[in-house]
Chains A and B, each alone.
Chain A
Amino acid sequence: MKTAPNIARVLGLPIATGITMCVVWHVAVTSGGVPQYLLPAPTEVARKLITSLPELLGHAAISGLEAVASFLLATALGFAGAVALVYAPLLREIFYPSIVGFQLIPKVALAPLFIVWLGTDSVSRIAFATFLSFFPVLISTMTGLQNADPNAVRLSRSLTASEWQTFVSVRIPFSLPYFFSATKVAATLAVTGIVVAEFITANAGLGFLILSSTPRMETLTIFAAILMLCFVGLLLYGAVSLLERAGRRWFKGA
């Protein structure tokens, strides 16, 4: 209502800004004589991305698959956990303080612990990324299940619906928007978790590629790998957003 939502402007302006920044970066690097090992020009990065695409894709596939697995595990476990905690008061009272506590402490610090426990292969990385992205899903879904419109719940009760029927037809639909917005957070966190775990232990994957190129000062490789990782992250995020849109539409249509 504030301003005319002009599509060309809304899309064009940020893209133009992005391109301008790349041009400034390019000019600064090429004319300023910045050494390539500190900051390569964007064109160099693009060339590197194309020339070593097969290698990058190989690493991306590893990181990407692990991130997807973690994401799926985290959302499934988060949702199931939320249902369990909402319906079992004793469980909730035991675990809820720890869950809130976990939200306040920096969970990334636990990455080495997962490696100590589960070894250095992908199981530990997936477990860590799942752990990282599980909490937002759990907490949001719990909030959603508990915040179902009380009048809708009352209506359902007055129709002598069973607890299960109320759950399926009232609470779940009301919690879906909360669940879906948390899945988007989880998507970003899953990739973050995999990257951090790969920093610590891995012999493949984009995080490994980035960190192992650092001592060799292969900045070009680092930039290309980061770019690749952005693609992976955005792909996952985009897929989840599409699913969310479909879910919301279903929610509204139902």
Chain B
Amino acid sequence: MTDAAGGFDAALSGGPDAAFIRVDDVAKTYDTGRTTIEAISNVSFQTAKGQFVAILGPSGCGKSTLLMMCAGLEPVTSGTITIAGQPMTGPRTSIGVMFQDSTLLPWKSVLENILFPIRILRRPRSEYIDRARALIEMVGLAGFEDKRPHELSGGMRQRVAICRALIYDPDILLMDEPFSALDAITRDEMNDALLDIWQRYTKTALFVTHSIREAVLLADRVLVMTDRPSTIIEDVPIPFVRPRTNEIAETVEFVRICSHLRGLIQHGHGRGQDKPGVAAIFQGNKVEAAR
């Protein structure tokens, strides 16, 4: 039994770690001066410790907003977020964040980029160098310690970003579409790498994506969000045992879950529009392009 599955059991049995991340009736409205954008209308969910939860939805539906609120980087408009029993007030070091862009510092080497959190947190560097090297080894970047980010491919940069998020050993990892800027082949590789990492360092994770396949491949649960103002319309458990490989994508069960999710997103859960799915995705793209 892996830790992840243990976390899942804990969630079912309602143990002490059953609500490690707890989001209660959270809403978010952006005030841009001229208009107000209701990004998230009402979201509630909870995550057990050690669980990997994917948040799936069309772009522009407020996934990043939700994640940033969980990270303490955006204030909530209403509702509460509780993490490890403590109400969220601001950023904390038990949370690591990963973005779509690797956000590496171009003037630092791979090793120094990975040690960047240690510098910010003013922890003794010597205690973390071995860990950094081990992480580099694990993600397959051995030999690249002294390279600069611009000498790396997009996939390699995201591997560095993963190491940087893991170096200070946060309990929670929040990932905002970390692989969506990568090409399809690299993305598959990164999914494999992440599955592998997950096997070793079990963390509690929220993973935002708009790829159905990625969500099902990686997660223990998939939360499906609708278009703005968004809520979670369904909480889909993913039953595949760990350790997983991307071979599960060939199974009938996998295809069935994917098509179920696709149906959920496309029909926008009966929002009373003619073709809400297409409209929602198109609108999402427009929002993305305008920003």
Touch between chains A and B, by CB atoms below 8 Å = yes
Question: Interface digits, B12-38 against A, CB 8 Å rule (1 contact, 0 not)?
Answer: 000000000000000000011110000
Contact of B31 among A1, A4, A7 (CB under 8 A): A4
Could you tell me the distance between the alpha carbons of A6 and B33 in the complex, rounded to whole angstroms? 5
A5 near B: Cβ within 8 Å?
yes
Shortest CB–CB separation between residue A15 and chain B, in angstroms? Answer: 18
Could you tell me the distance between the alpha carbons of A6 and B35 in the complex, rounded to whole angstroms? 11
- In the complex the two chains form, is B33's CB within 8 Å of A1's CB? no
Q: Report the number of A-B residue pairs with Cβ-Cβ less than 8 Å.
A: 9
Question: Interface digits, A1-45 against B, CB 8 Å rule (1 contact, 0 not)?
Answer: 100111100000000000000000000000000000000000000
| Residues of chain A at interface, number, CB under 8 A | 5
Shortest CB–CB separation between residue B202 and chain A, in angstroms? Answer: 35
Could you tell me the distance between the alpha carbons of A6 and B34 in the complex, rounded to whole angstroms? 8
Could you tell me the distance between the alpha carbons of A102 and B237 in the complex, rounded to whole angstroms? 69
Closest chain B residue, CB of each to CB of A10: B33
- In the complex the two chains form, is A5's CB within 8 Å of B33's CB? yes
Could you tell me the distance between the alpha carbons of A7 and B32 in the complex, rounded to whole angstroms? 11
Interface of A is mostly: loop
Shortest CB–CB separation between residue B59 and chain A, in angstroms? Answer: 15
Q: Which residues of A contact B31 (CB under 8 A)?
A: 4
- In the complex the two chains form, is A4's CB within 8 Å of B33's CB? yes
Could you tell me the distance between the alpha carbons of A110 and B32 in the complex, rounded to whole angstroms? 51
Q: Which residues of B contact A4 (CB under 8 A)?
A: 31-33
Closest chain B residue, CB of each to CB of A8: B33
Q: Which residues of A contact B291 (CB under 8 A)?
A: 1
Q: Which residues of A contact B32 (CB under 8 A)?
A: 4-5
Could you tell me the distance between the alpha carbons of A4 and B31 in the complex, rounded to whole angstroms? 7
Shortest CB–CB separation between residue A2 and chain B, in angstroms? Answer: 11
Closest chain A residue, CB of each to CB of B30: A4
Q: Which residues of B contact A7 (CB under 8 A)?
A: 33
Closest chain A residue, CB of each to CB of B32: A4
Closest chain B residue, CB of each to CB of A7: B33
Shortest CB–CB separation between residue A3 and chain B, in angstroms? Answer: 9
Q: Which residues of B contact A5 (CB under 8 A)?
A: 32-34
Q: Which residues of B contact A1 (CB under 8 A)?
A: 291
Contact residues, B96-115 vs A (CB, 8 A): none
Could you tell me the distance between the alpha carbons of A7 and B34 in the complex, rounded to whole angstroms? 9
Residue of B31, B32, B33, B291 with highest tally of chain A CB at under 10 A: B33
Could you tell me the distance between the alpha carbons of A143 and B291 in the complex, rounded to whole angstroms? 27
Closest chain B residue, CB of each to CB of A9: B33
A positions within 8 Å CB-CB of B: 1, 4-7
Q: A1-B291, A4-B33 are in contact. List 7 more A-B contacts (CB 8 A).
A: A4-B31, A4-B32, A5-B32, A5-B33, A5-B34, A6-B33, A7-B33
